[in-house]
Structure 1
Amino acid sequence: MDSHHPVPLWLWRLATWGFGVAVVGVIGLAWGLSRGWADPPRAGPLLWYENFQGDLTRWEFITSNGAALGPGEGALRAEFTAPEQLAMGLTSGPAGDFTLEIAGTQTAGDIGAAYGLIFAWQDEAHYSAVLVNGNGYAEAYRQAGAERTSWFAWQQWPNILLGTGSNRVRVDVGAGQMIARVNDEVLVEAETDAEGRVGVLARSPSASLRAGSGPSRVVFSWVQMWAPSP
């Protein structure tokens, strides 16, 4: 266009109108996302919410020798003193479909402790779990006695917050199927049994704790359960 000729007024108005529509659209999208438009659907209404700051009598805490698990600093804390220690917090699960979600992070020690959720728990040798760690690794599996079925083998996955970032781990269970998510992104889908207890699981790193690093600590901020109304 010749620089000596002014831009037509209609073209300026069209450009201004288009820019305004784009700005309004971005603002509307941000508003919707802040209210959960992007959240995958859950199994039903919120059944309960636990932040480990009140009555915990419905919970059972199970740990390996040398590990500790209990409330502290407004959350649930797991502390480890040796490799491959376990800490589990368990409570009753719904009879049918459900959505379980937890928020956790590692707050002390060399990064590498795994943490996440547990469901379909029958005993320490029969349960299902979805775990992540601050090095960007994730896994999902079903333990049935000596046999382990790996739904998602232990490997790096891009949608995990690294270091001490808080990650949300979620599982949707229904009609014999489960969908595991990390920070709302699908990790894996698989066939599963649903019956059993639910809760949180943490595991210390497999390597020996580095001298001077201190105990490894994992913190669970909250656990939420959704299920259909009776």
Structure 2
Amino acid sequence: MSPDTPAPPWLWRAAAWGFALLLAGVAALAAALALGLADPPRAGPLLWEDDFKGETARWTWRASEGARLEPRAGALVAEFTAAGQVVAALAAAPPGAFTLEVAGAQTEGETGARYGLVFGWQDDAHYAAVLVNGNGYAEAFQQAGATRTAAFPFQQWPHLLDGAASNRVRVDVTAGGVTARINDERLTGFEAPAAGRLGVMAQSAGPGRVVFSWVRVWAPGGPESDPGKPPATSRAK
């Protein structure tokens, strides 16, 4: 075919169809990524989620003197009046393996409050936690009485969002151990603690506010294995 010869219609049609298929493939891939195709696999189907806009009966609230923790305006809000204050919201954990993920941010006060998730909670001195702050620092540890064992010592980490941006903190817990992730990036791994409750935790660096947007839990049994699900009631015949 010479340069001056028009391309046959079938060639134009083939090119148009090929371009359309390419666009469709790109759109399908983008949709799949938006739905979590590239996310690390979780422990199972979504067991429950809470955005603190409705019923909060599954939770137990804990706050040290001078601090406050309560659902407000569609979020879980922690208010601090001084450094060294701690708050936690705790719920029953599913038996066996699970994935816990929370989203939070410090929205007021001098940046430095630590916030994230807690699991394997037995009491105030026995639990595991993964915490971050708005200065780009992260830590993961297990507390056993007066002994704190660091799985990831408190230090800067490149995949954190600074300031008042929301960060997602996640753990995948199995009998073989724990994998901690922040914003889907692997932070560290460590031995699983004893079974206990799970939830969110925040520690103050001074007066300020931390806001948790949501908490999500996945487990192999799905919603039917939710330990916080109200028992079914049968209607009298």
TM-score (norm 1): 0.85
Whether 2:219 is the aligned partner of 1:227: answer yes
Measured against aligned partners, the alpha-carbon deviations of 1:49-68 in whole angstroms (never above 9, x if no partner) come to 11112222221111111111
The SS at the match of 1:112 is coil
Measured against aligned partners, the alpha-carbon deviations of 1:7-50 in whole angstroms (never above 9, x if no partner) come to xx7xxx9x999987765554343222112111111111111111
Q: Distance in 2 between matches of 1:154 and 1:50?
A: 28
Instruction: Rate the CA distance shift 1:16–1:194 in 2: closer, same or farther, 3 A.
Output: farther
Q: Where in structure 2 are there 5+ consecutive unaligned residues?
A: 226-237
The SS at the match of 1:61 is strand
Instruction: Rate the CA distance shift 1:117–1:19 in 2: closer, same or farther, 3 A.
Output: same
**What letter is aligned with 1:222?**
W
Measured against aligned partners, the alpha-carbon deviations of 1:122-180 in whole angstroms (never above 9, x if no partner) come to 00000000011111110000000011110001011111111111111110000230000
The SS at the match of 2:84 is coil
Contact 1:174 1:194 in 2 (8 A): no
The SS at the match of 1:204 is strand
- Map 1:20-39 to 2 at 5 A: 26-39=26-39
The SS at the match of 1:178 is strand
**Corresponding residue for residue 187 of structure 2:** 187
Whether 2:119 is the aligned partner of 1:127: answer no
Contact 1:106 1:134 in 2 (8 A): yes
Whether 2:89 is the aligned partner of 1:89: answer yes
Identity of aligned residues (%): 58
**Corresponding residue for residue 63 of structure 1:** 63
**What letter is aligned with 1:216?**
G
Whether 2:65 is the aligned partner of 1:73: answer no
**Corresponding residue for residue 212 of structure 1:** none
Q: Distance in 1 between matches of 2:204 and 2:66?
A: 11
* Number of equivalences: 217
Indicate the larger mover: 72-81 or 186-195.
186-195
Q: Distance in 2 between matches of 1:23 and 1:112?
A: 45
Q: Distance in 1 between matches of 2:219 and 2:170?
A: 13
Instruction: Rate the CA distance shift 1:37–1:194 in 2: closer, same or farther, 3 A.
Output: farther
TM-score (norm 2): 0.83
Contact 1:98 1:225 in 2 (8 A): yes
Q: Cα offset for 1:88?
A: 0.5
Whether 2:133 is the aligned partner of 1:141: answer no
